[in-house]
Amino acid sequence: MDKEIEKEVFRLRDLFPDKINVQVTRSEDGGFSGEILTYPKCFTEADSFSELIDMFNDALYTYFDIPEDLIPYMPTYVAPVEMARDLVGFPVRKLVEKISLESLSSETVDC
C-alpha cells in the first residue's frame, strides 16, 4: 500500500469512535431493526441478530462514505456476548434494548 492510501486509511479510521450506542428492536416474529444513536438518521434492519451487527457496521461504512477497497482496514463493532444471548432466544424477552458496541480494531494497521 502506498503512503497516500495509508494516510487515507488512518484519516478514515479516526472518524470511528471506540464505542457506538445503538438501539435494537426485536419483532415478535424474530426479525431485528436498529438505530445507531451515536449518529443521526442511521437505521438498519436484519433477519438475525448477528446479521444486524453486520448491518450496523455496513451502515457506518456508508455513513462515512468509506471506499469498498478500504473497508477491511476499518474498525468492526461487536455486541457484548451476554447481550446477544439475551436478544436471540425465544420466547422474546425484550423487544427494545439500548447497548454499546465496541470496536475490535487495533491501534496498528497492516498495510
Per-residue pLDDT tens digits for 24-83: 988 877 789 999 999 989 999 999 888 999 999 999 999 999 999 999 999 999 988 777
Q: Could you tell me where the DSSP H helices lie in 1-111?
A: 3-13, 49-63, 81-88
Angle at which helices 81-88 and 49-63 cross, to 10°: 120
**Which residue segment(s) compose the domain that 37 sits in?**
3-103
- Within-domain flag for 98: yes
Number of structural domains in the chain: 1
Model-level pTM?
0.82
- Within-domain flag for 111: no
- Within-domain flag for 85: yes
